[in-house]
Structure 1
Amino acid sequence: MKKNAKTEDAILALLKARGSMSAVDLAGKLNITAIGMRQHLKRMNEMGMIAATPLIASKPKGAGRPATSWELTTLSHNKFGDSHALLTKDLIESARAVFGDEGVEQLVAHREDQTLKLYQEAMSAASPLKVKVAQLVRLREQEGYMAEVEEDGQGGFLFVENHCPICTAATVCQGFCRAELSIFRTVLGPDAIVERVEYLLEGGRRCSYTIRPKSLN
């Protein structure tokens, strides 16, 4: 039972990080047989943890098993937590009711200032942009953002956050999102261009950012 739970936690983590995947791809990533993977997926589907979605068939119609991918349900997305989300959301709404929008913006600015100082201290020894980005990934990982980075092959990077532990709070105060983008731009320095290219609150599966040196422009 414990082995099944460990495997299924790994499946959930992959689907959270990568989006929908086929049974074959999941089996390959976790180094188990396709038959074993389908058994896990069947059980997880019956428990409401994942849902099947059709894939564009790569074989002629009627040839072999229908192409299917799997994705997380809302139940499983919630498994990753949201940093006391409902309490935070209620506190923000209460602060807005008592202090108005200006008061909430002051709270966001205070949090931004604290986070910026923490990041600047942690990244003080980082110099090349690649090292700064790697350190930023580590900092965001520690905060539960499931962060990762990919080089784009042209001297830049794609910085990805597969989970947002403050997403519920951000739905009632998008100042948090503006502050985060500002923090990234500040800590990565004036020689880096940082742009958000995928946004969870606008229907994206995750938040992602392009990071490239100004010298590439």
Structure 2
Amino acid sequence: MYSSQLIPEGATGTPAAHTVAPETEERTRDRVLQAVLHQGPVSAAELGESLGFTPAAVRRHLDALSRDGLVEVKLIANQPAGAGRPARRYVLSHRGQTKLGNDYLDIAASALADLAEAAGDEAVQAFAARRFEKLERRYRPLVDAAGDSLADRAEALSGALSADGFVASTRTVGFNQPTATLQSLQLCQGHCPIQDLAREFPVFCDEETKVFARLLGVDVRRLSTLASGGHVCTTHVPMGRNQTPQRAEKRTRVKLTKQERPR
């Protein structure tokens, strides 16, 4: 929280002669960094509107963050495709993600490397599966409480992820046809506390995706991950006519072998 008596330089309505203490300038820059994390990909104009800063002040802070390697520019194609030049949007860089906290990941990565060497890659996969099974058990009551609506369940999952520091959100994408609207939902995560670990051991991303599929009751697909160089983790959630959430117990089918079938 920031004191209401400390008005950042460049904020709307602030006199030009106002002098800002150095620590306030640093805190203001941290606010811009956090806003890029939560809103990215985001334009300078959108940041200025949400933070109440003048365009000049926002660009000054963005330039400083860019020089420090904490944010970077992504060129986003305009909609409809091909209309005008790609828009400039700001996102956190890998260094910016790391600045927000990846404590003990080096130790964890070293331990998992030792585990793989001693017991094989299967042991690492089993470890990752157990980790996300615990997460699934915590999230299951929250997601199930949202009901059978796939959009509501995804929103509940997004809220649970955000509470754990993943800065998650949902958005609906699609296009209209004369007789129908084809839509899908994207579950986005702006921050990954274990990004560096997942980069070295992608099985963590794989197991997380499986948990999302089980919680939402539909087959989901990963479009991008922070660990693989994306500016956000994006999971595609289909919402077609035939895509309705199915409870895990309904999706489970016991397959008997020929010898096990009753005669």
TM (norm. structure 1) is 0.78
Q: Once the two structures are superposed, what CA deviation does each residue of 1:62-94 show, in whole Å capped at 9, x if it has no partner?
A: xxxxx9875545442321222532121111111
Asked which structure has the greater CA Rg, the reply is: 2
SS, match of residue 171 in structure 1: helix
Q: Match for 1:32 among 48, 53, 56?
A: 53
Q: Select which of 109, 119, 142 maps to 1:89.
A: 109
Which of 107, 113, 121 is residue 141 of structure 2 equivalent to?
121
Change (3 A) 1:83 1:179: farther
Preserved CA contact (<8 Å) 2:91 2:231: no
Coordinate RMSD, CA, aligned: 3.0
Distance 1:68 1:155 in 2: 26
Q: 2:224 aligns with which of 178, 198, 212?
A: 198
Gaps of at least 5 residues in structure 2 are: 1-20, 78-86, 175-181, 244-263
**Per the alignment, do residues 7 and 123 of structure 1 end up closer, same or farther by CA in structure 2, a change over 3 Å counting?**
same
| Percent of residue pairs bearing the same amino acid type | 23
Give 1:18 deviation, angstroms.
Answer: 4.7
Structure 1: runs of 5+ lacking an equivalent: 57-66
Q: How many residues align?
A: 205
Letter aligned with residue 92 of structure 1? L
Q: 1:97–1:202: structure 2 CA closer, same or farther, 3 Å change rule?
A: same
Match of 1:112 in 2: 132
Q: With CA pairs under 8 Å and 6+ residues apart, which has the higher RCO, 1 or 2? A: 1
State the distance in 1 between where 2:36 and 2:239 align.
Answer: 31
Q: Does 1:210 align with 2:236?
A: yes
In 2, distance between residues paired with 1:182 and 1:55? 29
Q: Which deviates more, 171-180 or 4-13?
A: 4-13
Q: Is the 8 A contact 1:197 1:210 kept in 2?
A: yes
Contact 1:92 1:169 in 2 (8 A): no
**Comparing both structures, which one devotes a greater share of its residues to helix?**
1
**CA-CA distance at 1:104 after TM superposition:** 1.6
TM-score, normalised on structure 2?
Answer: 0.66
> Greater shift after overlay, 148-157 or 178-187?
148-157
